[in-house]
Amino acid sequence: MKIIEKGPIPKYYQLKTIIAQKIKDREYPSSSQIPSEDQLMQQYHLSYSTVSRALKELEQEGLLYCVQGKGTFVSDTDSADKSPKEEKKSNNIGLLIFHEKNFISTDPFFTTIMSAIKDEAKNSNITLFATSKSKISDTKRFSREQNSIDGLIIISPTVDIGYLLQIQKKKIPYVVVGRYPQLPNLHSVDIDTSFGTRLALKHLINSGHRRIGFIHGLLDHTVTQYSLQTYQNILKEENLTFDKRLVKEGKFTLNGGYRKTLELLNLSKIPTAIFAANSSMVLGVMKAAREKGVKVPDEIAVVGYDDFPFTSYLSPPLTTIAQPIEELGKIAVRTLFKLISGKTNQPIQILLKPRLVTRESCGAKMGGDRR
């Protein structure tokens, strides 16, 4: 495995994946010493900070441990949980979501996908595990109850590699809602964020826009990395200049979208269009434009992401990227049931396509060059 120099996946995360895979394949056996930081830097042509971060996170995940003055060693995970899981099915499915419960209960993405999962798995009991922590191992209730479930659906912006390797050892069927090409054996279902971003940006460019502001989510989220890479790729394809002042991190929140739009509208040369990467941020975009007296779409076009019912009632109605969230939840359940029943032992990776919904906020019918 090699480090991909240019791509949406951070280099430290790629190194984590490589080391974790070598541990899984026993190229680095339990209790053995792995190469030093200097050796890893030379082997993969990485900086000290990149290697150090990868090793630190693998230690936090329980795959490695450090002995001062001696080096870094592989944890002895073979002896853990050797008792076999009962074959009798409990009819229980675990749903693990990496967000706090109050966020899950109010965010439309989560309420929609959870409803779809419950509908599709109506004959099974759904046990919800919610945590805002970065490591599943910190979720005490999950550690206690994981042996009573037949399978697990994980919804997370990032994946705890160490945890997934442990789940694989315990033979617990699982499906991750997300896309992680650095983990080729992962069972996953996801929506093609790159394709959705491309739809939005191409639509704006075809409508004459050349200076497009982009308000994205949290930088450590995989979907953000894909969106940012696509944004840069499309500008290059269209021979448009990348201006970092037009790219803002709105952190997926309404307030983030609002504050970052104010920054864009305070530039000496404001963008003629803004693309916001989720529905919460786009509400902030519309609020900021209204307060600054910038008319949508006459003076600035707006395109959002997620086509929840309220988007058609905004003033003006929102042009947006519609995600098949209900289908995503249902396919996750069907895929998990297939794994539980043992109908396949091959990695299942499903990628759904979003679609563009054109309304008035983008001013598409206006035509003309908006340079």
273-326 residue pLDDT tens: 999 999 999 999 999 999 999 999 999 999 999 999 999 999 999 999 999 999
Residue 112 has pLDDT above 50, yes or no: yes
Poorest-confidence range of 127-131, 222-226, 346-350?
A: 127-131
Angstrom distance (rounded) from CA 234 to CA 256: 24
Q: Which residue has the higher pLDDT, 79 or 31?
A: 31
- Contact indicator for 215, 260 with CB cutoff of 8 Å: yes
| CA 288/CA 306 separation, integer angstroms | 19
Tokens standing for 6?
Answer: 């240019």
What pLDDT is recorded for position 367? 38
Quickly state the pLDDT bin for 254 (edges 50, 70, 90): very high
| C-alpha span between 258 and 255 (Å, rounded) | 5
Give the whole-number percent of the chain exceeding pLDDT 70.
Answer: 84
pLDDT(163) > 80 = no
- List all residues 6 or more positions away from 171 whose beta carbon is below 8 Å from its beta carbon: 85
Average pLDDT over residues 172-178: 89
Q: Is it the case that residue 179 has pLDDT exceeding 50?
A: yes
Question: Lowest-confidence range among 44-53, 70-79, 150-159?
Answer: 70-79
| pLDDT of 123 strictly over 90 | no
Backbone angles phi, psi at 150, to 5 degrees: -85, -25
Cβ–Cβ < 8 Å for 128, 154: no
Domain map of the chain by residue range? 11-74, 92-190+327-345, 193-323+356-366
At position 276, the amino acid (one-letter code) is A
- Give the amino acid at 108: P
pLDDT at 151 over 70: yes
CATH of domain 11-74: 1.10.10.10
pLDDT at position 26, please? 85
Residue 143 clears pLDDT 60, i.e. is over it: no
| 152: nearest Cα among 98, 110, 112, 106 | 98
Q: Spell out the CATH class of 92-190+327-345.
A: alpha beta
Two tokens, residue 214: 């982009």
Residue 209 bridge partners (DSSP): 370
Q: Which of 40, 55, 49, 50 is nearest to 9 (CA)?
A: 50
pTM for this structure? 0.75
92-190+327-345 against 193-323+356-366: fold identical: yes
Give the whole-angstrom CA distance, residue 333 versus residue 175. 8
Rounded to an integer, what distance in angstroms lies between the CA atom of residue 43 and that of residue 56?
18
pLDDT reading at 29 higher than 80: yes
Lowest mean pLDDT among 65-74, 122-131, 217-226: 122-131
Q: How far is residue 102 CA from its own chain's centroid?
A: 20
Walk across the sheet containing 319-322 and list its strands: 247-249, 212-216, 273-276, 301-305, 319-322, 355-357
Please, how many CA atoms are within 13 Å of residue 58, restricted to the half-sphere of its CB? 28
Q: Are 310 and 316 in contact (CB under 8 A)?
A: no
Output phi, psi for 337, to 5 deg: -60, -35
Going by pLDDT thresholds of 50, 70 and 90, the confidence category of residue 369 is very low
Structure tokens at 216: 């994205």
Burial class (CB in 10 A: 0-12, 13-18, 19+), 35: middle
pLDDT of residue 196: 97
Give the per-residue pLDDT at 41: 92
Mean pLDDT, the chain, rounded, equals 85
Q: Class assignment of domain 193-323+356-366? A: alpha beta
Give the model's pLDDT for residue 160. 66
